[in-house]
């Protein structure tokens, strides 16, 4: 039982129908025809009670109330796996993000990995694989005197398994990565030229600093397997193949893998070579991470007014709650594979992030993509980074550090050195409960649930749009969906009030504006950032290509672009 009266909780309401529809379709707990979550309050209560079970018995009531209050009003948005699965009887995980083990270069190893992947997806996890560990096509298989099939057929197997799970359960998402020096990299780059192949995969090439230097120098590039050069190509030719494919069809993405490893707070313990399905979470083999986002759009004081500002005290409080919530989620979650449980327990990686960033900027009157917006968002995320680390140090004082914590090595990291002095002092005194703390995830569905706020750190895609829905009577009708900032503005000033200059959409921005926002955010985020650089359809190839160079030079950990084209089509009709 909770120490507060459940009947005293104020009933929550949804600002727009789409938010309630998302809740009913994704997060409302209904089992065996019985509705368990009658209202969204019941969902928050279910999640709060469940995650509080990781606490000492005498603390559970108070912590459950703290968790509930943070979620109430859509201020703190746990990721979908937590909202849908926590406190239910379902055999699901509470982590959205996974990377599978390093794939052994054998039939048995491949199939064992596929089995573990299937079990992970069955429990709701999005997964990533590094296919660089598989021998290139044509390599002799000793003992059989036949050529190896190479990594791509193994990817086809994974894709088919994912297709089975999607068909049966409506879930399944995967990322495939490969090093840029693997002998099959050209086949990997072109793998989705057939639009029917590998449709359940996102794909990213792991680009090294040495490769970028070779591209700039127009130098040769060695493709190697087990330390031996298989063949030599021009680095520029590989680069052009990547660029033309993504220009034409938005894939593959690019991961700057050396930067990812160099800035990893746990770099002294692990090597990263893959990410989860949306690329915001680089993870080691068997790695996993629960996620939650602070909804900045709900935390602006005096929105659109002369004193509009983000409530930083509220932000700090909610970040602290999120750290505790996600640390608890590790303990109460189920995992498909024992190695995933071990990895989670030993490093206690979590991902506290943000959503509603663009809406918050609109409310304080700052145009997304400008230098002023970059400076402001950087300061917000610096506040969040410091709050997360302080909360983890305080948890460590009460619960102990994560088991593999090495104080000397961990505190040598540039990320720790950039923290405020008092936060560094707390870490020096208590250590850290969590090896990695911050991530900015895409938050597409949870952002719609939270009021249709702008997703993650992305700009607003469209102020409003129409969608077709099927009503309870079976009739199809048009439904107006408004971005939260626009909805609030109309509520406050009326339907005819002229919009401020801060109302800007993704289509209004230059690619360089997107890169600026990603780069300033990355400085204050441990892991990665889910961010798409929107490009106009008529962007010249040379300009498009330069976006990736800008991202590399600006300090981003990766780059993903979207350009409307016959393969991907357009995202939305407005």
Catalytic residue among 278, 535, 556, 559: 278
Confidence at residue 567, expressed as pLDDT on a 0 to 100 scale: 67
Domain membership flag for residue 267: yes
Say how far apart CA 30 and CA 14 lie, in whole Å. 19
261 catalytically annotated: no
- The Cα–Cα gap between 395 and 323 comes to 9
Range of the structural domain that residue 183 is part of: 97-275
The answer to the question of residue 475 being in a domain is: no
User: Residue 106 domain-assigned?
Assistant: yes
CA distance 485 to 454: 8
Q: In this structure, is the dihedral angle defined by the CA atoms of residues 307, 313, 316 and 318, taken in order, positive or negative? A: negative
Residue 436 belongs to a domain: no
Task: Tell me 454's DSSP state.
Answer: P
pTM of the model: 0.96
Between CA 208 and CA 124 the distance in angstroms is: 32
Catalytic residue among 55, 251, 270, 280: 280
DSSP 101-161: PPPPSSHHHHHHHHHHHHHHHHTT-EEEEEGGGSPPTT-EETTTTEE---HHHHHHHHHHH
Residues 6+ apart with CB under 8 A from 428: 407, 411
User: In the annotation, is 535 catalytic?
Assistant: no
Asked whether residue 353 is domain-assigned, the answer is no
Q: Among 159, 276, 295, 434, which one carries the catalytic annotation? A: 276
Q: Cβ contacts of residue 369 below 8 Å, gap of 6+? A: 459, 504, 509, 510, 513, 514, 516, 517
Q: Are residues 288 and 329 in contact, defined by beta-carbon separation less than 8 angstroms?
A: no
Note whether 443 and 355 are within 8 A (CB): yes
End-to-end CA distance of the chain: 47
Residue 91 designated active-site: no
Give the 3-state secondary structure of residue 260.
Answer: helix
Rg (CA), the chain: 23
In this structure, what token pair is assigned to residue 86?
A: 């926590």
Query: DSSP readout, 412-474?
Result: TSHHHHTS-HHHHHHHHHH--S-S--B-B---HHHHHHTTSPPPTTPPBS-SEEEEEEE-TTS
Separation in Å, CA 9 to CA 167, 439, 451: 39, 31, 20
In order along its 574 residues, the chain shows pLDDT tens digits of 445 556 567 788 899 999 999 999 999 999 999 999 999 999 999 999 999 999 999 999 999 999 999 999 999 999 999 999 999 999 999 999 999 999 999 999 999 999 999 999 999 999 999 999 999 999 988 888 899 999 999 999 999 999 888 754 445 689 999 999 999 999 999 999 998 999 999 999 999 999 999 999 999 999 999 999 999 999 999 999 999 999 999 999 999 999 999 999 999 999 999 999 999 999 999 999 999 999 999 999 999 999 999 999 999 999 999 999 999 999 999 999 999 999 999 999 999 999 999 999 999 999 999 999 999 999 999 999 999 999 999 999 999 999 999 999 999 999 999 999 999 999 999 999 999 999 999 999 999 999 999 999 999 999 999 887 777 677 888 889 999 999 999 999 999 999 999 999 999 999 999 999 999 999 999 999 999 999 999 999 999 999 999 999 999 999 999 999 776 655 444 4
Q: What is the rounded distance in angstroms from the CA atom of residue 110 to the CA atom of residue 533?
A: 34
Residue in the block written with tokens 């007014």: 305
Instruction: Say if 16 falls within a structural domain.
Output: no
Token representation of residue 4: 């507060």
In 326-461, the DSSP E strands lie at: 351-355
Domain count, the chain: 1
Q: Say how far residue 424 (Cα) sits from the centre of its chain.
A: 27
- The answer for residues whose C-beta is within 8 angstroms of residue 309's C-beta and 6 or more apart is 300, 301, 302, 364
Alpha-carbon distance of 489 to 293, in angstroms, equals 23
Cβ(183)–Cβ(230) below 8 Å: yes
> From CA 105, how far away is CA 509, in angstroms rounded?
45
DSSP 349: -
Residue 130 resides in a domain: yes
CATH code for the domain in which residue 178 is found: 3.20.70.20
Closest CA to 70 of 292, 364, 279: 292
Cis, bond preceding 252 (omega within 30 deg of 0): yes
Residue 432 lies in a domain: no
Alpha-carbon dihedral sign for residues 477, 483, 488, 493? negative
């Amino acid at each position: 039982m909770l120490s507060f009266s459940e009947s005293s909780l104020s009933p929550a309401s949804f600002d727009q129908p789409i938010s309630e529809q998302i809740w009913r379709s994704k997060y409302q707990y209904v089992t065996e025809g019985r509705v368990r979550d009658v209202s969204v309050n019941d969902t928050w209560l279910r999640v709060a009670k469940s995650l509080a079970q990781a606490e000492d018995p005498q603390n559970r009531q108070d912590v459950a109330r703290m968790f509930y209050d943070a979620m109430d009003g859509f201020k703190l948005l746990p990721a979908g796996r937590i909202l849908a699965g926590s406190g239910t009887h379902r055999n699901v995980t509470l982590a959205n993000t996974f990377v599978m083990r390093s794939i052994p270069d054998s039939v048995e190893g491949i199939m064992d990995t596929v089995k573990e992947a299937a079990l992970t997806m069955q429990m709701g996890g999005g997964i990533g694989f590094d296919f660089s560990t598989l021998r290139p096509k044509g390599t002799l298989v000793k003992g059989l005197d036949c050529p190896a099939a190479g990594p791509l057929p193994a990817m086809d197997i994974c894709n088919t398994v994912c297709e089975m799970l999607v068909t049966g359960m409506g879930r399944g998402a995967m990322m495939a990565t490969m090093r840029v020096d693997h002998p099959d990299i050209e086949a990997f780059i072109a793998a989705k030229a057939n639009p029917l192949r590998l449709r359940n995969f996102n794909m990213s090439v792991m680009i090294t600093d040495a490769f970028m230097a070779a591209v700039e120098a127009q130098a040769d590039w060695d493709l190697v397997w087990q330390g031996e050069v298989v063949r030599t190509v021009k680095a520029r030719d590989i680069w052009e193949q990547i660029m033309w494919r993504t220009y034409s069809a938005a894939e593959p993405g690019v991961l700057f893998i050396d930067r990812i490893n160099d800035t990893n707070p746990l770099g002294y313990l692990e090597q990263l070579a893959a990410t989860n399905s949306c690329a915001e979470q680089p993870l080691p083999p068997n790695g996993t991470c629960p996620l939650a986002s602070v909804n900045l759009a709900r935390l602006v004081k005096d929105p659109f007014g002369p004193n509009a500002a983000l409530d930083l005290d509220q932000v700090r409080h909610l970040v602290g709650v999120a750290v505790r919530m996600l640390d608890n989620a590790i303990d109460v979650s189920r995992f498909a594979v024992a190695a995933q449980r071990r990895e989670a327990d030993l490093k206690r990686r979590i991902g506290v992030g943000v959503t509603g960033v663009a809406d918050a900027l609109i409310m304080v009157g700052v145009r997304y993509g400008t230098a002023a917006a970059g400076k402001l968002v950087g300061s917000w995320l610096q506040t969040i980074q410091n709050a997360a680390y302080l909360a983890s140090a305080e948890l460590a004082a009460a619960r102990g550090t994560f088991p593999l914590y090495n104080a000397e090595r961990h505190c040598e990291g540039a990320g720790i050195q950039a923290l405020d002095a008092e936060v560094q002092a707390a870490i020096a005194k208590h250590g850290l409960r969590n090896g990695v703390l911050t991530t900015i995830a895409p938050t597409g569905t949870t952002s719609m649930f939270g009021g249709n706020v702008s997703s993650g750190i992305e700009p607003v895609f469209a102020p409003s749009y129409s969608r077709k829905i099927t009503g309870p009577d079976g009739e199809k009708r048009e439904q107006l969906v408004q971005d939260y900032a626009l909805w609030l503005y109309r509520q406050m000033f009326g339907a005819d009030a002229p919009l401020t200059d801060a109302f800007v959409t993704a289509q209004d921005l230059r690619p360089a504006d997107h890169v600026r926002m990603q780069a300033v955010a990355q400085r204050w985020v441990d892991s990665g950032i889910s961010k798409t650089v929107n490009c106009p359809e008529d962007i010249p190839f040379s300009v498009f290509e330069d976006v990736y160079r800008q991202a590399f030079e600006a300090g981003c950990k990766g780059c993903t672009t979207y350009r409307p084209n016959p393969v991907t089509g357009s995202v939305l009709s407005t």
